[in-house]
Structure 1
Amino acid sequence: MWGSLWPLLLGFLMAGAAPGPSLRRPSRELDATPRMTIPFEELSGVRHFQAQAQNYSTLLLEEASARLLVGARGALFSLSARDIGDGAHKEIQWEASLETRRKCHQKGKNNQTECFNHVRFLQRLNATHLYACGTHAFQPLCAAIDAESFTMPSSFEEGKERCPYDPTRGFTGLVIDGGLYTATRYEFRSIPDIRRSRHPHSLRTEEAPVHWLNDAEFVFSVLVRESEASAVGDDDKVYFFFTERAAAEEGSSSFNPSRSSHRVARVARVCKGDLGGKKILQKKWTSFLKARLLCHIPQYETLRGVCSLDADLSARTHFYAAFTLTTQWKTLEASAICRYDLAEVQAVFSGPYMEYQDGTRRWGRYEGGVPEPRPGSDLPSLVLDFVKLHPLMARPVVPSRGRPLLLKRHVHYTHLAGIPVSTPAGPTYDLLFLATADGWIHKAVVLASGMHIIEETQVFRQPQSVENLVISLRQHSLYVGAPSGVIQLPLSTCWRYRSCYDCILARDPYCGWDPSNLSCVAATTIANRTSLIQDIERGNRGCEGSRDPGPPPPPLKTRSVLRGDDVLLPCDQPSNLARALWLLNGSKSLSDGQDGYRVGVDGLLVTDTQPEHSGSYSCFAEENGLRTLLASYSLTVRPATPAPAPQAPATNEARLAPDVRLLYVLAIAALGGLCLLLAFSLLYVACLRGGGRGRRRKYSLGRASRAGGSAVQLQTVSGQCPGEEDEGEDGEGAEGLEGSRLQIIKKNHRPRCPRLS
């Protein structure tokens, strides 16, 4: 259903968009498909770390010492960045006490998830110590940790001004020149705030008469060194990215700005050298400004993740941000990726401003003069009054190129990390790693035409949300933090590509085809990088003059099928972007639904085969203008076997099976033999009766014993006893044999009869 609604929905979204550059490309062209899919079972070169703790969400990489520091629930870990699973890690147990957990539970918090010490902040404090903060069962604590020994101090610092009390609240923080810059909701009843602590001049945002922040959820922060080589002596800036409840300046939108559920993405900045006001805005920022962050379509307003590239060089600094779709249809899931250049952000912060108008209780564009000097320096009261009432900029920050780089359906991006990669040919490409809510990593390269997703990797067997991403250039690794543990992945797996064309089709800036050893290698592992073959932008040129013979031709397979039957010719495509091309007898192209052919992702199905379906079939993978032979078949359609001619009904005897007839013959023969035996027996008895008349029916069965023992006789014993009526002397009356019985008796023995009374 959503497939049919998607074009209509996107049309509606674009129709209701805020004023800005038009979307030049159809949305379907921005929905990139990952070229390769790597399931969990096919992972290679992956290392794991998992201990008794849970929620490994805070990561700090220290390249110089090759250590990866991890903050989890109730513990901190120091891992080897070279191999996080080598078993030589250090651990600090940092649990909340039973009494603290009991109080947390009494406040109505969940003692299965919330009433623990979730480490939310972990940064380098100075040359000798790290600084960590945890929620500590809704009573936040912080500690300075000895970095060398990786041990806790004997005492802790109050964390209510530095760390969120709630483990689920959005939070971001930095240590800059010893000062702590954090943004979150610090206490149960407090409003979200950007604060500076552990500094001679502690500052925070203003609350009255205008709230500078409105139920904000913070995502990311970064220091940009703008003062270096600045012609006007500009100060270094700290940028904060977040989502907050919308103000009324969105009145021109098709959406109702008064709805409390309407949220917008923002970017705010403060000056590192801000000292606060003397009478007005005491201990408050005097340099705070914020602007709306558009990803062109207003519904993509929920900011999920941000990463910065080249932050040390302000002239080239840019940001990538991941948004998720915000609609009333909760089953529709989609994400967008937009890029923002620092120069555009700086231009927006230069003016004009918005002003809250008491009469209409709305924000409107400020048309008056702006006092000098500008916010951020030692300011007079007139300027401070202006700063206090004008924190919001009139213009939004729009993405570079005026459109999203990617609109991805059915995906919920949670975090992203990026790094610039220089190629042997000279150009530098931004390589992004996008984490999803179900435990996949999308590796993508930013091209002039948009984003190309090189591969998608399932990094966890069971679906779980990725909580953090960190890139190490020295270790050529990506570290993934999640609820169940930490994963270390290589930044590239060039060995997966077996031919020159397969290597360049991947368009991975880390991978190139080495013509000297006919293999796809990581550009960082070879000295003569200029000899590598790459085509990142187009992904199909460069292999024409190479000595790579390509993959060997597939063996010819034969198939034979009866006429009228169906047959499947398998052909698996190596790439999600490849199109299956089938040729019959080397020339006829087959299309889905044509003459009984069904072309699917698993092969070619030939239905109701006929003689004309016989022939040679070739399956090709056609991708980006290149064609590769994958399978060859020789199909023969045989005539169906004719049915037997009808015959006259057979008699019962003819229809009997041979084995049944044999059984009948044997039964009849046995009965015949039994009858013959009975006849001879009766004849024999009759002869004996005729020759022994007058001997009272005594028949000798054998001779008497030599010892004079009694002989055994076979007598016909009458059924009558003496005194009963005898119809004849010889017993040949009407009774005959029917009234007699045979029994064996001793010689001279008479049958005993009952005594008559």
Structure 2
Amino acid sequence: MTPGGVVLILLPVCYLLSGASAATLSGHKDIMLGPDKLEGVANFSTFLLDQSTGTLFLGARDAILAVDINKLNQKPRKIVWDVPEEKRRSCVAKGKTEVDCNNYIRLLEFLGDGRIYVCGTYAFDPQCAFLDVSSFTLEKVENGGTKMETGKGKCPFEPSQHYTAVMAGGTLYTATTSNFLGTLFDISRATGREQERIRTEQSSNWLNDPEFVSSAFIEQNADSNPTGDDDKIYFFFNEVAREYDLYTKVKVPRVARVCKSDVGGMKTLQRRWTTFLKAQLVCEDKPSDQRYNILTDVFTTQHTPGDPSSTHFYGLFTSQWENEELSAVCVFSLSDISKVMDGPFKALKTCENRISPEPVPTPRPGQCLNNAMKAEGFESSLKLPDKVLTFVREYPLMENSVTAAPLLVRKGIKYTKLAVTQTGSKEERRGAVLHLGTDRGELHRVAVVGQNATLLHEIPLFTSQEPVNNILLYKGRTLVGSPLSLARVQAEGCGVYPSCEVCARARGLGCVWKEDACQYTTAEPTPGDMVDDALRKCDTTEGRCSPSTRELRVSMGLRLLLPCFQLSPRPCSWEHPPHRHTRQHHSDLEVTVTMESLGKYICTCQEAGPSVRDPTPCRRAAYHLTLEGPSAGGAVAIAGGRHFMAFYVIFFFGGIGFAVFLYCLVIHRRSFGRQGHHLPDNSLSSEKGRDLLGSSATPQSPSSASLLSEGFRLTEKRNGTATTNTTTTLLSNQGNGGHHGNSYSGTLINSNSSNGHGNSLYSNCNTSNSHLKFSSEILAADMLDGRTGERERGRPEGGERESGEGGEVDEGLGDGLAGLKGLEEELANLPVYKSPAPLAKCEESSI
């Protein structure tokens, strides 16, 4: 069948599949509001939810919207708060773009008196206003204008600057930039009485080029606070670590703490924090020695509602050192953070030596006021001794780190936002569900029971260009926002899992499949792997740790990337034929197909066992490679990458040789006697041309430096997108299923998948000027077993070739290279290649 016929057949199938997907999605998603239903407002960045009324306030560009979550079909209310034209022109005159010279609402916080405190960038001159909730209007001054006050220190100047704020007892605490250039940073008490507005010291020991992420107010109560300790505000951010002397800047995640009653010192640290302490957060999997050092989001929750001491912080991390997209989740308890804050202080490290902290004075520096301190006469931070304040100013960093092991790690996926729901009763928690938003508009749900994480399902909500930037939980529903849209999705209960397989994965959360529905049960799971036991009851042989073997029909010389879907951060290993040609990239395995490499490939990952040192093996993927002709089973046929490279070499050398021949002929006629100005010898040997060709008959030895050292560049995976500049690499990023479209252009091929799974890359390159046709296709593993989907729609015309064509290319390859060698020998006899090349003048280097 011709490729065009295949595409015509597959288009209706893909249409039906997409329709089925949309129908399934509607079962998860109650409703979604797009730009057309949100009053044409865009750039939503801030959400504020009134839990009592179900009203969601959205801060956007030049506007504030109010949406009734229970009645999303109603038209939202809207307030326009834009920038006067004159001020906009002044902003542009200062060198800012017209897009940035708007009023981006970055802060929405309840004041507790029926008003909302609203702050916006206001064309790089932050301003704040007061929103009356009952009338949904901004307060006015006598002349009818909006009542405003300065927002400096409360709101960032630039729309894209990292920023966080939290309201504590009607007082606003912020972490933001404090100048127009964005070079000064403050953690401050931004509202309240003027004499109590304090901030951090302008010292790199306190804040060193920080990127603020999140903040939380932990209010103490009498039951969990017998010592009468003060309420605290926690700030999470990344900063450049001064304690590491390396060749590059090392970013580390931090947690900082200040006390609500802190009003600064009397002489030392006047109007500065006297309780500012910070510690490093470490999200590390020790068995695999992997550390994730960039914090991107934090979700704060109480494991026991009403008990502040049970507060846990779920952190979303990535890595500064990884080339591909990577996301990890670690959870830190409030008690662990408190222990580190009560521990030793870190020595100050300078360029020449390390200055150890002086003996810790009494009362302990950075300690919040408690009953014992008040009994000693320290009713206020203004009465603290100077030696205590001096110590805090010099040593705000703690020696120990707050350490946690990751709950899950996803490669090729970039998570942007995180929310967590606890499952089970208040007395007996079964586990947690992580609601993770991606940068491609998806919502992923992962069940965490103990130390094991299981992916439940992935829900596409928005377009791939709309990253999820807000997730809120409200009465069993998830409110998911992007810069352009808002979606309401059912979040809690076993009923959100639509199939037996998905319900079985949630078995650890107390879900069972009964009467064609997923229902909650209090029955304890059976011994052994409860998820696998539940999966076996469904009409499938696919288990979490017992996947079915996928048959892949391959051709000689292909390069495949066999995916191994890994949730646990612990390492994965592969079983494969002994005489194989492979290289492992993280959990995936790259295979070059030869006769010796055919057979079974099994990936086994380590899950969390009874202890960290006792992991449990879990089979994640199984493949069986069999040899077949280049056209089989609905898969795209392959003209090997060697053939493409052969044509490329012929065309390239031929073009160079013809151009050189013409140029030399002109030079020979015009300046026959001028032999001292010949061009340098730029000839290319045909042997070098041969080195660019891959060979499946002589696979690379295990001691070789790289699989791709013969002119092949490694395909890069970044955020679910695979990009390659060669057309001989075969890859798949298939993880947990799914199909996604691809785009292709020339020999630069991009596959953009919404969740990093199921990429299929192929290309058809034509050179219209030379009338030579180069054909090469890059095949994914999930195409080889006959899978179809959106990939098939992107297959170019003429993409499928018969097996005989590949043979013709092989037969002509030797003649082409022989002709090139003869052409080179003939060119070498020309006078222009026989005379020495002139030497360039030496220039003194300034380095």
Give me the TM-score of the superposition, normalised by structure 1. 0.61
Q: Distance in 2 between matches of 1:381 and 1:601?
A: 80
Q: 2:517 & 2:426 partners in 1: Cα distance?
A: 16
Match of 1:212 among 196, 206, 217: 206
The residue aligned with 2:121 is 135
Cα distance in 2 for residues equivalent to 1:496 and 1:597: 44
The letter of the residue matching 1:313 is D
Supply the AA of the counterpart residue of 2:166. L
Question: Structure 2 matches for 1:555-704, cutoff 5 A?
Answer: 592-593=624-625
CA contact (8 A) 2:421 2:434 kept: yes
Report what 1:685 is aligned to.
Answer: none
Contact 2:508 2:531 in 1 (8 A): no
- Please say if residues 535 and 541 of structure 1, whose CA atoms lie closer than 8 Å, have aligned partners that are also in contact: no
Mapped contact 1:354–1:364 kept (Cα < 8 A): no
Alignment-derived partner of residue 41 in structure 2? 53
Alpha-carbon deviation of 1:483?
Answer: 1.5
Q: Which residue is equivalent to 1:222? A: 216
Write the mapping of 1:129-168 to structure 2, written as runs, cut at 5 A: 129-154=115-140, 155-168=147-160
Cα distance in 1 between the residues matched to 2:20 and 2:314:
25
- What residue is the counterpart of 1:396 in the other structure? 401
Deviation, structure 1 residue 199 = 1.5
Distance 1:543 1:40, change over 3 A: closer
- Amino acid of the structure 2 residue aligned with 1:101: R
**C-alpha distance after superposition, 1:489-540 (max 9, x if no partner):** 11158567677666223447384434xx55224x4xxxxx647989997324
- Quick one: percent identity of the two aligned structures? 31
Q: Which residue of 2 aligns with 1:122?
A: 108
Which residue among 95, 102, 120 is the counterpart of 1:108? 95
Alpha-carbon separation, structure 2, partners of 1:424 and 1:347: 26
What secondary structure is seen at the aligned counterpart in 2 of 1:181?
Answer: strand
Tell me how far apart the structure 1 counterparts of residues 625 and 364 of structure 2 sit (CA, whole Å): 73
Q: Distance in 1 between matches of 2:535 and 2:452?
A: 24
The residue that corresponds to 2:179 in the other structure is 187
1-side partners of 2:487 and 2:93: how far apart?
36
Aligned mates of 1:76, 1:433 — CA distance in 2 = 26
Contact 1:310 1:317 in 2 (8 A): yes
Tell whether the 8 Å contact from 1:96 to 1:136 is kept in structure 2 after alignment: yes
- Equivalent residue for 1:278, pick from 246, 266, 278: 266
User: Partners of 1:507 and 1:363 in 2: how far apart?
Assistant: 53
- Asked if 2 retains the 8 angstrom alpha-carbon contact of 1:352 and 1:366, the reply is no
2: distance between equivalents of 1:206 and 1:510?
47
Classify the secondary structure of the residue corresponding to 1:43.
helix
The equivalent residue for 1:422 is 424
Residue 536 and residue 250 in structure 1: after superposition, are their counterparts in 2 closer, same or farther (change >3 A)?
farther
Q: Which residue number in structure 1 is paired with residue 513 of structure 2?
A: 513
User: Which residue pairs with 1:177 in the alignment?
Assistant: 169
Residue 369 of structure 2 is aligned to residue 371 of structure 1: no
Displacement of 1:124 after TM fit? 0.9
**Which residue of 298, 301, 304 maps to 2:293?**
301
Distance 2:275 2:402 in 1: 18
Kept in 1: contact 2:190–2:198 (CA 8 A): no
1:418 alignment partner AA = V
Q: Which amino acid aligns with 1:265?
A: P
**1:152-204 alpha-carbon deviations (Å, 9 max, x no partner):** 11111111121111111111111111111011113224511101022124344
Which sections of structure 1, spanning at least 5 residues, go unmatched? Answer: 1-36, 524-528, 553-565, 567-574, 582-589, 606-621, 624-757
Partner of 2:391: 386
Give 1:202's match in structure 2, choosing from 196, 216, 226.
Answer: 196
Over 3 Å counting, the alpha-carbon distance change for 1:109 and 1:477 in structure 2 is same
Equivalent residue number for residue 463 of structure 1: 465
| Distance 1:503-1:209 versus aligned 2 partners, 3 A rule | closer
Inter-partner Cα distance in structure 1 for 2:508 and 2:102: 42
Change (3 A) 1:386 1:455: same
**Kept in 1: contact 2:164–2:176 (CA 8 A):** yes
Q: Name the structure 2 match of 1:736.
A: none
Task: Determine the structure 1 residue equivalent to 2:490.
Answer: 490
Residue pair 1:504, 1:533 contacting (<8 A) in 2 also: no
Shift of 1:89: 2.0
> C-alpha displacement at 1:551, in angstroms?
9.1
Deviates more, 1:448-457 or 1:40-49: 40-49
Classify the secondary structure of the residue corresponding to 1:294.
strand
Q: Is the 8 A contact 2:328 2:410 kept in 1?
A: yes
Please list the CA deviations of residues 607-633 of structure 1 after superposition, one character each: whole Å capped at 9, or x if unmatched.
xxxxxxxxxxxxxxx99xxxxxxxxxx
Cα root mean square deviation, aligned: 3.9
Q: Relative to structure 1, is the Cα distance of residues 321 and 268 closer, same or farther in structure 2, using a 3 angstrom cutoff? A: same
- Out of 284, 288, 291, the position equivalent to 2:279 is 291
TM-aligned CA deviation for residue 464 of structure 1 = 1.9
Distance 1:500 1:151, change over 3 A: same
TM-score of the aligned structures, taking structure 2 as reference length: 0.55
Q: State whether residues 468 and 481 of structure 2, in contact with CA within 8 Å, keep that contact through their aligned partners in structure 1.
A: yes
Larger radius of gyration: 1
Task: Give CA deviations for 1:394-421 in whole Å, capped at 9, x if unaligned.
Answer: 111111xxx2222211111211111212
Counterpart of 2:311 (choices 288, 295, 317) is 317
Distance 1:443 1:392, change over 3 A: same
Cα distance change, pair 210–426 in 1 and its aligned pair in 2 (3 A): closer
Deviation at 1:111, TM superposition (A): 0.6
Q: 2:409 and 2:220 mapped to 1: Cα distance? A: 32
Answering whether residue 25 of structure 2 is matched by residue 43 of structure 1, we say yes
State the SS of the aligned residue for 2:92.
helix
- What's the secondary structure of 2:624's corresponding residue? coil
Residue type of the alignment partner of 1:142: C
Contact 2:431 2:508 in 1 (8 A): no
> In the alignment, is the contact (CA less than 8 A) between 1:466 and 1:481 conserved in 2?
yes
The one of 315, 320, 335 aligned to 1:343: 335
The 1:73/1:511 distance shift into structure 2, 3 A limit, reads farther
